[in-house]
């Protein structure tokens, strides 16, 4: 999961009850065969930030996410969290259990934690309502569209009230309209809950709409090309996607991606 940050690091003294700070220092990850995935990554994320990681395929975005989650360890350098958080990880595939309906899929993390049946069903219903699946609680994964399955996966992540939410291209396989609806919903949930979010995506539009910062990596081995604070309003309405300022911010990320491809 990572060790707590030492007092020598710059971490805000006041933290949201639902957020956690993340810090990477000189992180390097080498896989078998001397394949260097990421090299010399420095990144500081304060509690409650929404950060998007972009880069070419194979640039180490998912590797960084796994190291933040504690699912992998750096070969050298340090990955640290300000405290041990409630953490949720959403993958590109929804990974729903086919023999469980939506309610029982969403309630699964609470069941594994020993939460009573009445309490876990109450909390699961609340999470399902938040993602707009209230009329599908009794349906099974095979009866759901791709977008509905991802909503269920997101609800399952939110049911534990995470302080750190990690998402690895969760909407990549969806059509553009469904993807935009889920982006709107995720941004609204983040605004409401105030958790720290790290979101991996290939989409410049998605990164610019969702995040407060866009971190762009080079092709392998991944290094930071730009760590850009997006000059956009906190409230992200669907109309923002047609705003000239939004186009300018996408241009900054696109230019950084081009530099990353050439690096």
Q: What is the pTM of this model?
A: 0.88
pLDDT digits (tens, 9 = 90+) for 156-170: 999 999 999 999 998
pLDDT digits (tens, 9 = 90+) for 176-231: 888 888 899 899 999 998 999 999 999 999 999 999 999 999 998 999 999 999 99
Split at pLDDT 50, 70, 90, the class of 262 is confident
The whole-angstrom separation of Cα 125 and Cα 105 is 11
- Evaluate whether 168 touches 101 at the Cβ level (below 8 Å): no
Tell me the helices (H) and strands (E) count for the chain, helix number first: 7, 10
Q: Judging by beta carbons within 10 Å of its beta carbon (0-12, 13-18, 19+), is residue 218 exposed, middle or buried? A: buried
- The two tokens of residue 244 are 């000239």
The whole-angstrom separation of Cα 50 and Cα 59 is 20
C-alpha separations of 25 from 45, 76, 252 in Å? 12, 9, 25
C-alpha separations of 35 from 60, 75, 191, 221 in Å? 11, 11, 38, 8
Q: How many residues in the chain?
A: 263
What lies within 8 Å, CB to CB, of 18 at 6+ separation is: 48, 161, 162, 163, 193, 194, 195
Backbone angles phi, psi at 49, to 5 degrees: -80, 155
pLDDT digits (tens, 9 = 90+) for 177-188: 888 888 998 999
């Amino acid at each position: 999961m990572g060790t707590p940050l030492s007092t020598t690091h710059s971490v805000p003294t006041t933290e949201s009850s639902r957020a956690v700070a993340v810090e990477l220092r000189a992180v390097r990850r080498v896989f078998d065969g001397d394949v260097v995935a990421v090299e010399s990554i420095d990144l500081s994320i304060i509690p409650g930030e929404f950060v998007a990681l972009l880069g070419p395929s194979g640039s180490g975005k998912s590797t960084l996410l796994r190291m933040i989650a504690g699912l992998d360890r750096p070969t050298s350098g340090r990955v640290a969290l300000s405290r041990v958080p409630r953490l949720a990880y959403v993958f590109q595939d929804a990974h729903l259990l086919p023999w469980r309906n939506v309610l029982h899929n969403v309630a699964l993390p609470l069941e594994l934690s020993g939460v009573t049946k009445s309490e876990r069903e109450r909390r699961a219903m609340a999470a399902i309502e938040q993602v707009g699946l209230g009329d599908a609680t009794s349906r099974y994964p095979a009866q759901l569209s791709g977008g509905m399955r991802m909503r269920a996966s997101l609800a399952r992540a939110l049911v534990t009230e995470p302080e750190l939410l990690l998402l690895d291209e969760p909407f990549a396989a969806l059509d553009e309209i469904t993807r935009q609806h889920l982006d709107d919903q995720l941004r609204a949930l983040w605004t409401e809950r105030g958790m720290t979010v790290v979101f991996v995506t290939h989409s410049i539009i998605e990164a610019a709409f969702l995040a407060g910062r866009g971190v762009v990596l080079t092709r392998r081995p991944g290094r930071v090309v730009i760590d850009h604070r997006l000059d956009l309003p906190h409230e992200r309405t669907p109309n923002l996607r047609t705003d000239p300022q939004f186009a300018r911010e996408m241009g900054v990320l696109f230019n950084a991606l081009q530099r990353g491809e050439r690096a």
